[in-house]
Amino acid sequence: MIISAPDGTSLSFLTQVVQWSGGELKRWLPLVNGFVADLPNAALSDLAEHPLVSHIAIDRLVVGAMERTSSTVGAGAVRQELGYDGAGVGVAIIDSGASAYLDDLSDGSSGGPRVDQFVDFVNGRKKAYDDYGHGTHVAGIIAGNGFDSGGLRTGIAPAARLIVLKVLDDSGQGRISDVIAAIDYAIAHKDAFNIRVINLSVATGVYEPYDVDPLTLAAQRAVNAGIVVVAAAGNYGRAPQGGTRYGGITAPGNAPWVLTVGASSHMGTVDRADDTIAVFSSRGPTAINNGAKPDVVAPGVGIESLSNPESAFYVTKANYLLSGSVPTWYQPYLSLSGTSMAAPVVTGTVALMLQANPNLTPNAVKAIIEYSAQQYAGYDRLTQGAGFLNAKGAVELAQTLAASNDTEYPSTADWSTQVVWGNRLIQGGQLAADGNAWWMSTTWGASVMPDGEEITWGSAFSDTGQNVVWGSQCGGADCETTWSVFDSGVVIGTDDGDTVVWGTSDDDEGDTVVWGTSCSDPSCDPVIWNAP
C-alpha cells in the first residue's frame, strides 16, 4: 500500500503508527509525502481513520503498454529542413531499461553510449540493461540513430540524451511506487541532465480520481517542475466482443496535465491521407472524472525500432525481428504495435520542439501539439483527441513562438487550430507566447487563474492582437458559449454551430454521450455508448 501524510512533518510519526499496526516499511516516496508499506488487512480500517493519514492507495501493478514513422509525422523533415535533432535535451524513459551498448544508441561522434544515466528501481543493478526489451524499443523510437539500418530506422530525436529509469521487471510488470520513485528521481536530477520530458509507456488501471491518485499527482509534480509528461493512452479500444470500446484510458494518462497519446496506423506508407486510428487505441472519456482524452494520436502500428538480444522480447517476439543493412550478430530491429510505441513518437517530437524553443512550458508544448495536429473526418474527439501528430508543424510553431512578434505565423491550412482545454474546445485564434495559460502556475483545464484572472491563450487575429479568452467560440471575439440541450438531455452543439468536444453523463439511462457534430439541430444524431 502507498500511505500518504498531509505534510512532511507528519510523515515520521505516521511511519511509527504503521509499524505499531504491524506494517513493514518498504520505500520512501517523498514526492507524494508518503511511503510504501506491507500492511495486515486488519489494520487498514483503523489506519484509514487515523488523523495523520491523508490517503491510502493500492500499490497497483503497471505494465508496458521506423522509417515510415518519422516521415509520416514530419520528423524527418524537421531534421533535414529545420536542422533539429534533439541535441542537448534530456529525456527520461521510465520503462524496463535499455541496452546502452547497441549501435543505434551510441554517440555518432565518440562512439560512446548516449544513456547518460541508468537507475534500476527493480533489482538495484548499476550497469544499464533491459531484460524485458520494451524499454529498449521505446528508447530507439525516441532517439535511435539508425546506425544498423543505414539511417532508415532513425528515431524521432536521434541526438537526445537518455536518462533510463528501470521500473519494469523481466516479465514487464512493476508497481506504481517504482514509477513514482522514478518520477521523483527525474525531478531531483532535472537540472543535472537537462531533463525536459518524461516518457511513460507504462500503464495501470484508474481506480480513483486523478486529484488523489499518487501516480497522477506525481506526474503533476513533474509538470509543475517544468517537465513534460507524455503517457500512453492504453490499448483498450476494442471490446471483448470485437466492437469499439470507449472509456479505456489508463493512468497516468487520465490526468489533464499529462500529454496522453493514442495510436494511429500509417498503413505502411508515408502518405498521411491513408492514416487510420489503430483499433486497439484507448478512447476517452476517462474513468471517474469523465475527462476528454486522448490529447493526440501518433503512429503506433508496426513500429520498427530496436531489439535487445538479451531480453525476453527477443525470444517471445521472434517472429517480428528484423535485420538491418549492416552485418550484426543478431537481428537489431523489432516491429511492435501499441500506444506504448505511439507515446515515444510524441516524446521525441517534444524533444525537437524544446531544442527549437527551450522556453516552452509543459502547457505550451501540449497546446502547440494539439493546435498543429491534423484532424481526420470520421473520428470523434474521444478517439483522435485534437488530431494526428504533426511533428513538423509543432516544431515550426515552437520556433515561431521563440522569435519576435514580427515573425510570420506558419501556414495552418491543414492544422486543427484548436486546443482541447479540459473538456472545452478552444478555437478562433492563434497561439501566442505570452498567454497566461502557459504559465507554470496554471493547471491544464482550469476555469480561471489562481487569482481569479481569466485564462488567455493568444490573439484572435495577428494584425489586431485581440485577446482570446478560454471558452470563446465566436470567431475570435470574447463571448459566452451557449450549449444547446434537447429533450433527451443530450448536448448537441453550440449556439453558433461550432464543433464541440463531448457531452453529458447524466441522461436518464446514465449513458455517456460522445459528440462532435457541427450541427445544432435535433435531427443530428449523437453517438451514444454505454459507459463501461
What CATH number is associated with residue 20? 3.30.70
Question: Residue 379: inside a domain, yes or no?
Answer: no
Do 463 and 486 have their domain in common?
Answer: no
Residue 328 belongs to a domain: yes
Interior angle at CA 176, CA 204 and CA 198, nearest 5: 85
Q: What's the burial of 404, exposed, middle or buried (CB within 10 Å: 0-12/13-18/19+)?
A: exposed
Please report the pLDDT score of residue 479 as a whole number: 32
Note whether 499 and 422 are same-domain residues.
Answer: no
- Where does the pLDDT of residue 432 fall: very low under 50, low under 70, confident under 90, or very high at 90 and above? confident
The verdict on 185 and 141 lying in the same domain is: yes
Domain assignment present for residue 381? The answer is no
Whether 460 has a pLDDT exceeding 70, the answer reads no
Residues 191, 260 within the same domain: yes
Q: Is residue 363 part of a domain?
A: no
**Mean of the pLDDT values across residues 190-197?**
97
Q: What's the pLDDT tens digit per position in 198-207?
A: 999 998 999 9
78 and 52 assigned to the same domain: no
Fill in the amino acid letter for 221: R
Reported in sequence order, the residue ranges of 184-295 that DSSP labels E, i.e. its strands, are 195-200, 202-203, 228-232, 259-265, 276-277
Residue 457 confidence (pLDDT) above 50 = yes
pLDDT at 492 over 50: no
Establish if 104 belongs to a structural domain: yes
Q: Burial of 238 by CB count in 10 Å (0-12 exposed, 13-18 middle, 19+ buried)?
A: middle
Distance between CA atoms of residues 263 and 248, nearest Å: 13
pLDDT at res. 108: 58
User: How many domains does the structure of the chain reveal?
Assistant: 4
Ranges 63-67, 89-93, 285-289: which has the least confidence: 63-67
Clarify whether residues 269 and 326 are in a common domain.
Answer: yes
Same domain? For 316 and 454 the reply is: no
The model's confidence at residue 141, banded by pLDDT at 50, 70 and 90, is: very high
What is the CATH classification number for the domain harbouring 135? 3.40.50.200
Which residues carry out catalysis? 95, 134, 340
Q: In the numeric block, which cell numbers belong to residue 447?
A: 476555469
d(CA 520, CA 486): 10
Per the structure, the complete domain to which residue 34 belongs is given by 2-57
Do residue 29 and residue 84 come from a single domain?
Answer: no
* Boundary residue ending a domain (297, 326, 358): 358
What percentage of the chain reaches a pLDDT higher than 90? 48
C-alpha cell at 381: 474527439
- Residue 389 is assigned to a structural domain of this protein: no
In this structure, the answer to whether residues 42 and 165 fall within a common structural domain is no
Model pTM?
Answer: 0.84
- Assign 477 a pLDDT band (cuts: 50, 70, 90): very low
The residues facing 410 across adjacent strands are: none
Distances from the Cα of 244 to the Cαs of 266, 279, 290, in angstroms?
A: 20, 7, 18
* Confidence class for position 487, pLDDT limits 50, 70, 90: very low
Mean local confidence (pLDDT), 19-24? 86
**Residues 53 and 67 placed together within one structural domain of the fold:** no
Cα distance from N-terminal residue to C-terminal residue, the chain: 26
CA neighbor of 202 nearest in space, from 377, 47, 63: 63
- Quote the pLDDT of residue 525: 35
Which one has a higher pLDDT value, 333 or 6? Answer: 333
Which of 510, 530, 514 has its CA nearest to residue 292?
514
Question: C-alpha dihedral over 146, 149, 151, 152, to 10 degrees?
Answer: -110
- Show which of 358, 393, 416 is a domain's final residue: 358
pLDDT value for 178: 95
Is 380 inside a domain boundary? Answer: no
Q: Which of 12, 28, 57 is the last residue of a domain?
A: 57
Query: pLDDT tens-digit profile of 205-221?
Result: 999 999 999 999 999 99
Q: 35 and 154 share a domain? A: no
465 and 505 both lie in a single domain: no
DSSP state of 82: I
| Residue 41: all three cell numbers together | 488487512
